[in-house]
Amino acid sequence: MNTSTLPSRAVLVDMYRKATLIKQNDERFRSVIKSGKLAMVYYSPRGQEIIPSAMSVNLSNDDYIVTIYRGIHDMLAKGVPVKQLWAELGGRATGTCKGKGGAMHVTHPASGVMVTTGIVGASLPIANGLALAAQLRGEKRVAVAYFGDGASNIGAFHEALNMASVWKLPVVFVCQNNAYGEHTKLAYSTAVPNIAIRAVSYQMPGITVDGNDPLAMYQVAKEAVERARSGGGPTLIEAKTFRFFGHVLGDTDSYMDKGEKAAAMARDPVPLYRAWLISAGHATEQELAGIEAGFEQEIDEALAFTLASPFPDVAELRRDVFKQEIAA
Amino acid sequence: MSTVAAETQAAAPKVAKMNVVQAVNLALDDAMAADSTVIVFGEDVGDKEEGGVCGVTKGLSTKYGDARVRSTPISEQAIVGAAIGAAIAGMRPVAEIMLMNFTAVAMDMIANHAAKLRFMSGGQTQVPLVIRTMTGAGMGSGGQHSDYLEAWFAHVPGIKVVAPSNPADAYGLMLSCIEDDDPCLFIEHLVSYWAPGTPPTRGVRVPIGKANVVLAGSDVTLISYSGMMTPCAAVAAKLAAEGIKVELIDLRTISPWDTATVLASVAKTGRAVVVHEAVRNFGVGAEIAATLHERLFGTLKAPVQRIGSAYCAVPFSKPLETAFMPSQAQIEAAVRKTLG
């Protein structure tokens, strides 16, 4: 790890706190789904924990994010409450969106999670609009668009990068390059080996970074957020990572190289970061174990809360279509 | 374009007529003056780019600045996406998608996002944007510049669709759409852009979802909107001379449409003809006819008639284009058919 621009101990621990919450939360989601207690189509972010953790310690609640169907890690890192997130994924009335959005469409404005989209590439143009509003009002807010490597091949990506550059919008485009777009390897679908190169076409900084390296990712995130916040315009970050559990939970992974996957899982970024924090003297085993135990309990409570929560009333079908409820 | 010259010559202050271009411009101007969150963007909308290809936004960037009125790249997804994000963040964007066929490029943003975000967020966010777009056959624009596609959008829950037929309604509906907290698609009939009409009263809103009974009658209800109101009015006038009393309804809003006004009228007349320029198949007329048959089957004196364009792309060649669109003769024949 590059230690030349080390953040404070508090930030280092905060990044771990976010990353381990994401990991623990994902592990429990998968086990609960497999147990049959909750049923949903689930896109596991396991393996990609560091990216939004490093981004989010550079953001405040006032900053906006737009994320995608594989976005639970982005939401948790930004601060969506675990209880309401679980209840939403359980389709309960107590969820962030009253159970009307689900895992692919979580919104939680209080933590800055403004849109979660199930459409590849759609996060970027909308993040531009959030950034435009901030720019017009002279606010210092930043908008972050998360998306995958596959999204860099859809038109919306290119339209959005161009517009953001022309208008110098306070936006950070974060491509989480996990090596596969659905089932297809990057090299089979994408003309460039590094997606950050595409920033050149739009006259904005494009940076490829190891998204599983907390310090490198932190530094890149910090610079991009500061650039946006200070009026310097957009940045394209390509954070290289690897998803551990395929495209959708339950797929057979037969399209993945088993050796590649095993090697990536052996370099699981969360325990690696944990070991480094302790060995470098930034945190103690006891401190980190305390954080982890706290999250275990929080997740236990979120699951219990979800299972005890009511499902939404059928009248919700007529609500929120328009501002005015549709007559029965 | 002779109407433009006529309009200029007739621009005496007392009885000044106004066309739709001027009316929409005035509405945008009034809305921007009243509310600093109203912003306008789209291809060529700034004054450096002539204030839009038809001049609808002329003068606005000069008056309100390039930040609030900005010309965009030719990037329909990015335009609507930016409008969505800005709207969620509390602005009231009026985004122009120049021609209605170009909305196809932005369909994901409109149908999957603008229309659904309020619902999917459980009411936590809203998308108070307006998408202005123009269309209409009759000017030889061919298959990708003149379609009426309102049924696509009316089929998507969560977006309101309006299609004014005259300057006063265009002004009043534009103010209502900008102030509405839901996304609105605002369809402008390009071919009658420059036709002079009765000017709006400043500040008077036309409510969304409210049809206008243009002409009261007792024999048959003729329902239309947008550009087709002109031939429908001509048919009503012609039949009036024969003593046939047509009740002419300008729907003005396609979705949510004014079922109460239309049902009350058809309950009275027992006969209905729906006319639109969009192709007939799966069109707005089908929805209205189905509703009328469901609700008024026992009182209808004749099956509801639907008139729309032919089931093909908008053709280029003039005789084909003319034959493609609903004619006054077709509308008249449909009305007579209901009368038996």
Q: What is the pLDDT of residue A71?
A: 97
Same domain, B187 and B216: no
Q: Is B203 among the domain residues?
A: no
pLDDT-above-90 percentage for chain A: 95
State the nearest Cα–Cα gap between B193 and chain A, in angstroms.
Answer: 30
User: For chain B, where are the alpha helices, taking DSSP H only?
Assistant: 2-9, 20-34, 60-64, 76-88, 107, 117-120, 150-154, 167-179, 229-240, 259-269, 284-296, 318-324, 328-339
Same domain, B40 and B69: yes
Q: What is the pLDDT of residue A76?
A: 98
Environment class of A39 (CB within 10 Å of its CB; exposed 0-12, middle 13-18, buried 19+): exposed
- Residue B15's pLDDT band (boundaries 50, 70, 90)? low
| Residue of B100, B84, B212 lying closest to B151 (CA atoms) | B100
Q: Which residue of A has its CA nearest to B79?
A: A125
Residues of B in contact with A162 (CB under 8 A): 73, 75, 78
Q: Which residues of B are catalytic?
A: 76, 145
When CB atoms are compared, the residue of B85, B126, B181 closest to A133 is B85
Tokens of B323: 């034959």
> Residues A264-275: pLDDT tens digits?
999 999 999 999
State the nearest Cα–Cα gap between B31 and chain A, in angstroms.
Answer: 17
Same domain, B180 and B228: no
The residue among B126, B159, B192 that closes a domain is B192
Q: Is B289 among the domain residues?
A: yes
CATH code assigned at B254: 3.40.50.920
Longest Cα pair distance anywhere in chain B, in angstroms? Answer: 60
Residues of B in contact with A105 (CB under 8 A): 120-121
Q: List all residues 6 or more positions away from B137 whose beta carbon is below 8 Å from its beta carbon.
A: B146, B147, B191, B277, B309, B314, B321, B324, B325
Same domain, B156 and B252: no
> Residues A233-255: pLDDT tens digits?
999 999 999 999 989 998 888 99
Q: Is B70 among the domain residues?
A: yes
Q: Is B200 among the domain residues?
A: no
Asked if A108 contacts A72 with a C-beta cutoff of 8 angstroms, the reply is: no
When CB atoms are compared, the residue of B76, B93, B120 closest to A97 is B120
Average pLDDT over residues A58-83: 98
Asked if B212 contacts B250 with a C-beta cutoff of 8 angstroms, the reply is: yes
Same domain, B158 and B49: yes
Same domain, B217 and B152: no
Same domain, B143 and B226: no
Residues of A in contact with B83 (CB under 8 A): 129
Residues of A in contact with B81 (CB under 8 A): 122, 124-126, 128-129, 156, 159-160
Q: For chain A, state the CA radius of gyration.
A: 19
First to last CA, chain A: 60
Q: Is B219 among the domain residues?
A: yes
The residue among B192, B227, B256 that closes a domain is B192
Same domain, B254 and B319: yes
Q: List all residues 6 or more positions away from B245 whose beta carbon is below 8 Å from its beta carbon.
A: B217, B218, B219, B220
E-strand stretches of B7-163: 38-42, 69-71, 92-99, 130-135, 160-162
Same domain, B137 and B234: no
> Residues B46-90: pLDDT tens digits?
999 999 999 999 999 999 999 999 999 999 999 999 999 999 999
- A126: region left, alpha or beta (phi > 0 left; psi from -120 to 50 alpha): alpha
Beta-carbon count within 10 A of B314 CB: 26
Residues of A in contact with B90 (CB under 8 A): 133
Same domain, B269 and B164: no
Same domain, B186 and B219: no
Q: Which domain holds residue B175?
A: 2-192
| Residue of A270, A303, A286 lying closest to A21 (CA atoms) | A270
Give dist(CA A8, CA A34) in Å, integer: 39
pLDDT greater than 70 at residue A1: no
Computed over every residue of chain B, the mean pLDDT equals 95
Chain B, 28 to 57: residues with Cβ < 8 Å from chain A are 39
Q: Is B206 among the domain residues?
A: no
Average pLDDT over residues B269-286: 98
Q: Is B204 among the domain residues?
A: no
What number of C-beta contacts closer than 8 Å exist between A and B? 148
pLDDT greater than 50 at residue B4: no
* B89 and A CB contact within 8 Å: yes
Identify the residue with better confidence: B2 or B140: B140
> Residues A21-45: pLDDT tens digits?
999 999 999 999 999 999 889 999 9
Q: What is the pLDDT of residue B6?
A: 43
Same domain, B30 and B111: yes
Of A254-258, B113-117, B132-136, minimum mean pLDDT range? A254-258
Question: 3-class SS at B81?
Answer: helix
When CB atoms are compared, the residue of A132, A133, A156 closest to B77 is A156
Q: What is the pLDDT of residue A2?
A: 54
When CB atoms are compared, the residue of B75, B89, B160 closest to A162 is B75
User: For chain A, where are the alpha helices, taking DSSP H only?
Assistant: 9-35, 50-56, 72-78, 82-89, 123-136, 155-166, 186-189, 214-229, 258-266, 269-279, 285-308
- Residue B8's pLDDT band (boundaries 50, 70, 90)? very low
* B92 and A CB contact within 8 Å: no
Instruction: Answer yes or no: do A109 and B125 touch at CB < 8 A.
Output: yes
> Residues A297-319: pLDDT tens digits?
999 999 999 999 999 999 999 99
* B260 and A CB contact within 8 Å: no
Instruction: Answer yes or no: do A64 and B124 touch at CB < 8 A.
Output: no
Residues of B in contact with A118 (CB under 8 A): 112
DSSP code per residue over A280-327: TTSS-HHHHHHHHHHHHHHHHHHHHHHHHSPPPPGGGGGSSSSSSPPP
Give dist(CA B62, CA B137) in Å, integer: 32
CATH code assigned at B70: 3.40.50.970
Q: Total domain count for chain B?
A: 2
Average pLDDT over residues A115-123: 98
Q: Is B159 among the domain residues?
A: yes
Domains defined for chain A, CATH in brackets: 9-302 (3.40.50.970)
pLDDT greater than 60 at residue A205: yes
When CB atoms are compared, the residue of B83, B93, B119 closest to A100 is B119
When CB atoms are compared, the residue of A95, A126, A155 closest to B85 is A126
ipTM: 0.96
Mark out chain A residues that contact chain B at CB-CB < 8 A: 64, 66, 95-101, 105, 107-109, 114-115, 117-119, 122, 124-134, 136, 143, 155-156, 159-160, 162-163, 166-167, 319-323
> Residues B235-255: pLDDT tens digits?
999 999 999 999 999 999 999
Computed over every residue of chain A, the mean pLDDT equals 96
Instruction: Answer yes or no: do A115 and B88 touch at CB < 8 A.
Output: yes
